[in-house]
Structure 1
Amino acid sequence: MKKWIIIPLIIILVIAGVLVKVYFSSVQPVKAAEKKAVSLAMDKGQLSEVDDFHIYNGNETVNVIEGKNKKGSKVIIWIPEKSKKIFIKKANEGITKEEAIQKLIQEKQPKKIISVRLGMEKNIPLWEIYYRSENNLINYYYVHFETGEWLKKIENL
């Protein structure tokens, strides 16, 4: 009787162990990219505190760091993966996430906004808004970070 309890328990533990290993293996490249990008930004003296990090995958992969500089001002740093040239803007030099969303709402009336994040294409900092339209199709809307102007849209996927 004990065998029937122990064998399924061992199987569950092995499966859980494999899932944990797969998770940590999949997160490792992102953590390595974050460490490298943050180190580069701090070495250049442009960053003293990190609030957020994410990887933008557009025409080119770009590491985006939001944080504070040594003066305490909020800054956003874009580091394209291939060029390693650093683009730095104070957060107040561009539009906010909420302003980018308002631009989308004025033009498109989305059914549901799924995500809003910073990115960069062709050395232009931007907000990427991923949303669903009324007919439940996937759409992307890109807003210029500095001017708030519409850059491009990908619709009805």
Structure 2
Amino acid sequence: MKKWILLSVLFVAIIMGILVNVYLNAIEPVNAAENKAVEIAAKETNLSDFTDFNLYSGEETYYVLTGKNAKQEDVYVWINEKNGELITRNAKNGITKKEALNKLYQEKNPDEIIAVRLGMARIQKTDRPAWEIYYRKNSGTINYYYVDFETGEKLRAIDNL
């Protein structure tokens, strides 16, 4: 009986070790991208205290960081993964996540908001900082809604995916 208990504990420990290893290998590319983005932003801007990082994959991949300027104000930085080009905007000079959601609710009737994140919308071959809202309608369809970060205007919508 003791042998079965020991073998069961050993089996569970091995499975847990494998799962931890898979998880660590899965997040390694994201951690590497974050380290690269922080390094670029620290070198190219006068920002510090990077508090948030997201990967945005649209027409091109962008690293999106939140940092602080000398006045301790939140600043967003979009870094193009391919060419390293930076776009920097003060958070106070753009619309908030809540304001972007309000814009969506004025026009659409989403059933479930899945994610709201800063990204980049390509409009007439120009990339513009935007809030990307990923939501679901009652029909089960997936939809995207893009709101310009600076003006709050709707840039585009992708419906019924």
TM-score (norm 1): 0.95
Other-structure match for 1:96: 96
| Cα distance between partner residues in 2 of 1:136 and 1:107 | 18
The CA deviation string for residues 96-120 of structure 1, in whole angstroms up to 9 with x for no partner, is 1001000000000111111100001
The CA deviation string for residues 49-71 of structure 1, in whole angstroms up to 9 with x for no partner, is 11210000111110000121122
| Cα distance between partner residues in 1 of 2:94 and 2:45 | 21
| Cα distance between partner residues in 1 of 2:78 and 2:45 | 14
Query: 2:44 aligned with 1:40, yes or no?
Result: no
| Cα distance between partner residues in 1 of 2:46 and 2:109 | 38
SS in 1 for 2:132: strand
| Cα distance between partner residues in 2 of 1:56 and 1:45 | 20
Other-structure match for 2:61: 61
Q: Structure 1: which amino acid aligns with 2:136?
A: R
- Is the Cα–Cα contact under 8 Å of residues 56 and 119 in structure 1 kept in the other structure? yes
1:2 Cα deviation (Å)?
Answer: 1.3
| Cα distance between partner residues in 1 of 2:112 and 2:121 | 24
| Cα distance between partner residues in 1 of 2:121 and 2:142 | 20
Gaps of 5+ in 1: none
Percent identity, please: 51
| Cα distance between partner residues in 1 of 2:44 and 2:160 | 42
- Is the Cα–Cα contact under 8 Å of residues 60 and 121 in structure 1 kept in the other structure? no
Gaps of 5+ in 2: none
| Cα distance between partner residues in 2 of 1:151 and 1:89 | 18
Q: Structure 1: which amino acid aligns with 2:51?
A: D
1:92 Cα deviation (Å)?
Answer: 1.5
Other-structure match for 2:51: 51
Other-structure match for 1:137: 141
1:43 Cα deviation (Å)?
Answer: 1.2
Q: Structure 2: which amino acid aligns with 1:71?
A: K
1:45 Cα deviation (Å)?
Answer: 3.1
TM-score (norm 2): 0.93
Size of the aligned set, in residue pairs, is 157
- Is the Cα–Cα contact under 8 Å of residues 64 and 118 in structure 2 kept in the other structure? yes
Other-structure match for 2:18: 18
Mean CA deviation greater in 6-15 or 38-47: 38-47
Q: Structure 1: which amino acid aligns with 2:87?
A: F
Other-structure match for 1:112: 112
The CA deviation string for residues 79-133 of structure 1, in whole angstroms up to 9 with x for no partner, is 0100101100001121110010000000001111111000013321010001111
Q: Aligned-pair RMSD on alpha carbons?
A: 1.1
